[in-house]
Amino acid sequence: MRYALISDVHANLPALEAVMRDIAGRAGPSLRSGQALATYHLGDLVGYAPWPDETVELLRRAGVPGVAGNYDSTVATDYAHCGCRYEDPRQEELSHLSYAWTRAHVSPETKEFLGSLPFRIDLRPLGGHAGGPTITLLHGNQVLNTVYVTEDRPDAFLTKMGAGAGAKPGDVVCFGHTHKPWHRAVEGVHFVNTGSVGRPKDGDWRAGYVLLTFDGGSVDVEIVRVEYDLDATMRGIRASDLPHEFADYLRTGGVLA
Ligand SMILES: [Fe+2]
């Protein structure tokens, strides 16, 4: 059983389209033609780029379920801010501009859809009638979708997170939010950060997602990167009244201050 996990699209429609094409190209012979791999999103569908409605519409049409990121739940509930972390005052200012723009531009239907997303999803590759691994999909951690689970978190933090999520050895706990993909097993529980489709922060501009493959008792985690029409996204940002800095941020894979 294979799953494609996509996170933090952030309204970058060209990046999402490229990732969906890549996923469709990986469908095995057991799947009917035209049917993609089992695909789930891990939230943060909107913010920072000019296609929030189109992003949601594409995922709804493709039948991709998923969980609520902080950007989704804050837009949906008219929260005071997007629940994002800033490294400096300029970043904070840009973040507020993006949040205000997104709230002003999402359709009522998109907002309602974002509000309907569940906080977490549990998958059972072997079925719920028998024992076997559980895949838990979150955005941040098991308590809040605003918690950053970064690669430098100590094993003790992840052990506590796994216990809090109800994970046992062999299970896989997946999350996004930091926009930097990584994978580590601690006491038999796999922790997988699925990175970001539309706004990577690891210095690689390409769209990122994760493939999980369950084969017997083992799980394989593949971090995939896909080139997309970056120029189209940069043009789209510059043609909108979003801060133009967001275009350069994408080009550098988030290393530009
Ligand atoms: Fe995000």
Give the integer Cα–Cα distance in Å for 46 and 257. Answer: 21
Q: How far is the CA of 168 from the centre of ligand 1 (A)?
A: 27
For range 42-62, the mean pLDDT: 98
Give the integer Cα–Cα distance in Å for 104 and 68. Answer: 19
For range 195-217, the mean pLDDT: 95
For range 39-61, the mean pLDDT: 98
Q: How far is the CA of 48 from the centre of ligand 1 (A)?
A: 9
Q: How far is the CA of 125 from the centre of ligand 1 (A)?
A: 27
Q: Give the confidence band of 51 by pLDDT, cuts at 50, 70, 90.
A: very high
Q: How far is the CA of 164 from the centre of ligand 1 (A)?
A: 22
Q: How far is the CA of 253 from the centre of ligand 1 (A)?
A: 14
pLDDT tens for 216-231 read 778 999 999 999 999 9
pLDDT at position 179: 98
Residue written as token pair 């201050």: 257
Task: Point out which residues pair with 190 in neighbouring strands.
Answer: 172, 185
Contact (Cβ atoms closer than 8 angstroms) between residue 201 and residue 193: no
End-to-end CA distance of the chain: 40
For range 9-26, the mean pLDDT: 97
pLDDT tens for 92-145 read 999 999 999 999 999 999 999 999 999 999 999 988 998 899 999 999 999 999
Q: Is the model's pLDDT at 186 over the cut of 90?
A: yes
For range 20-39, the mean pLDDT: 76
Q: Is the model's pLDDT at 177 over the cut of 70?
A: yes
Give the integer Cα–Cα distance in Å for 70 and 72. Answer: 5
Q: Give the confidence band of 44 by pLDDT, cuts at 50, 70, 90.
A: very high
pLDDT at position 215: 86
The structure tokens listed for 190 are: 């796999």
For range 150-156, the mean pLDDT: 98
Full strand arrangement of the beta sheet holding 207-215: 38-41, 2-6, 207-215, 218-226
